[in-house]
Structure 1
Amino acid sequence: MDIFEIIVAFIYIYFLYIFYDYYISRKILKKWQRLSKEKKEEFIKNLSKKNQKRLLYMIEIEKDREMEKQKKKFTKVKKKYRKER
């Protein structure tokens, strides 16, 4: 094996790890979203530190996505209102 094949193998393994990590994070987020408020706190306490960080990061990303969606809707409504005037 030459060095190029080794580098490609490490890159491949790294990307697999990233996608697996994202998959696990999404799975935890989906479980968390289905719970009631009381159970959400308990669910977070029962997670490991690493999974708590994953969950908080994914929650932050979801909030950002929601804000972007609301911004887009608001700008559309603004444009429609301006056209009507």
Structure 2
Amino acid sequence: MKKPAMTAADARREADRKKDKQFIRDKEKERQSRLAKTEKLRLLRLAKEEAEIEEKAAATAAKAAKSAKKTARPKAKASGTPGE
């Protein structure tokens, strides 16, 4: 049995269907691209915040060490040492 020839309307429907599929693929690519971009920006922002936190922690630790050094009692000199 022979397949019936495609009519002009069938050809138009087929072309529209192909355009629709391509349009959907293009939109999905755009969406994926946007998602990747926003994820990259989110990760960069998180890394920046983490670096700031580490920097503040290091500064706090340095201040605490400096403060501890200032408040530490001076060592008592051993008796009988020259210079007394």
TM-score scaled by length of structure 1: 0.44
Q: Which has the higher contact order (CA 8 A, sep 6+)?
A: 1
Q: Which protein shows a greater Rg?
A: 2
Which structure: greater helix fraction? 1
TM-score scaled by length of structure 2: 0.45
